[in-house]
A and B are shown apart, each in its own frame.
Chain A
Amino acid sequence: MSHGNNSLVIENLRVNVEGQEILKGINLEASIGEVNAIMGPNGSGKSTLAYALMGHPKYEITAGSIMFQGEDLTRMKPNERAKRGLFLSFQYPTEIPGVTVSNFLRTALNAIKPQPVPVPEFLRLLKEKMALLKVDQSFASRYLNEGFSGGEKKRTEILQLAVLQPKLAILDETDSGLDIDSLKIVAEGVNSLMAGSGLERDDKAGQANMGALVITHYQRLLNYIKPDRVHIMMDGKIVMSGGPELVHKLESHGYEWVGKAVSDPEGADEASRHTALSDLTETSGLDKLDKASRHPEAGLKS
Chain B
Amino acid sequence: MSVNDKLPVGGSWLQEKRRQAWESFAAKPYPIIRYGLNITTDAGGLSLENLSIPQPKPPKVENRNKGIIVTDIFTALNEYPDIVEKHLFKSLGYAECACGNCIPNTAANEKFLSFHQSMFNAGLLVYAPKGAEAEHPVHIDSRVDGALLEHTLVVAEPLSRLAIMENLHGDGSFRSGIVEVFAGDGSSVNFGSMQNYGEGLVNFSMKKAVVNKDANMEWVTCDTGARLTKSDVSSVLDGSGARTMNRGMFFGRGGQHFDFHVNAIHARQSTESYLLTRGALYDSSKAIYRGLIKMTRDARGAIGYQKADTLLLGEHAEADPVPYLEIDNNEVKCGHATTVGQVDAEKMFYLMSRGLGEEEARARIVEGFFEPLIRLLHADRIQKEARALIHNGIMRNIGRAAVTL
Contacts and interface: CB of A to CB of B under 8 A. Distances in A.
A88 B345 contact: no
Contacts of B345: 57-58
Contact of B360 (A55, A82, A111): A111
Contacts of B372: 97-98, 143
Contact of B350 (A57, A90, A109, A164): A90
Contacts, number: 84
Contact of B351 (A58, A96, A98, A164): A96
Contacts of A78: 349, 352-353
Contacts of A94: 344, 346-347, 349-350
Contact of B405 (A57, A112, A160): A57
A179 to B, nearest CB: 24
A94 B405 CA distance: 16
A98 B369 contact: yes
B319 to A, nearest CB: 19
B371 interface: yes
Contact of B367 (A55, A93, A98): A98
Interface string B19-54: 000000000000000000000000000000000000
B332 interface: no
A109 B356 CA distance: 9
A108 B369 contact: no
Contacts of B357: 79, 111
Given A94-B346, A99-B371, A82 B364 contact: no
A96 B352 contact: no
Contacts of B350: 90, 93-94, 96
B368 interface: yes
A90 B360 CA distance: 21
A223 interface: no
Nearest to A58: B345
Nearest to B373: A98
B369 A97 contact: yes
A82 B365 contact: no
Contacts of A107: 356, 360, 364
A77 B352 contact: yes
Contacts of A99: 364-365, 367-368, 371
A83 interface: yes
A104 interface: yes
Contacts of A57: 345, 349, 405
A169 to B, nearest CB: 12
A16 B355 CA distance: 24
Given A57-B405, A77-B358, A97 B353 contact: no
B10 to A, nearest CB: 47
A154 to B, nearest CB: 14
A35 to B, nearest CB: 21
Nearest to A98: B368
Contact of B354 (A77, A143, A164): A164
Given A57-B405, A94-B346, A108 B368 contact: no
Interface in B312-359: 344-347, 349-358
B370 interface: yes
Contacts of B358: 77, 79
Interface string A69-91: 00000000111011100011010
A82 B349 CA distance: 11
Contacts of A77: 352, 358, 405
A104 B352 CA distance: 11
Interface string B357-390: 1101100110111111000000000000000000
Nearest to A103: B364
Contacts of B405: 57, 77
A147 to B, nearest CB: 11
Given A57-B405, A107-B364, A112 B355 contact: yes
Interface of B: 344-347, 349-358, 360-361, 364-365, 367-372, 405
Interface of A: 54-58, 77-79, 81-83, 87-88, 90, 93-94, 96-99, 104, 107-109, 111-112, 143, 160, 164
19 contacts: A54-B349, A55-B353, A57-B345, A82-B354, A83-B355, A88-B353, A94-B346, A94-B347, A96-B347, A96-B368, A98-B368, A98-B369, A104-B354, A107-B356, A107-B364, A108-B356, A111-B355, A111-B356, A143-B372
Q: Which 5 A-B pairs have the closest CB atoms?
A: A98-B368, A98-B371, A111-B355, A82-B355, A112-B355
Given A57-B345, A87-B354, 9 more contacts: A54-B349, A55-B352, A58-B345, A77-B352, A77-B358, A90-B350, A98-B369, A98-B371, A108-B354
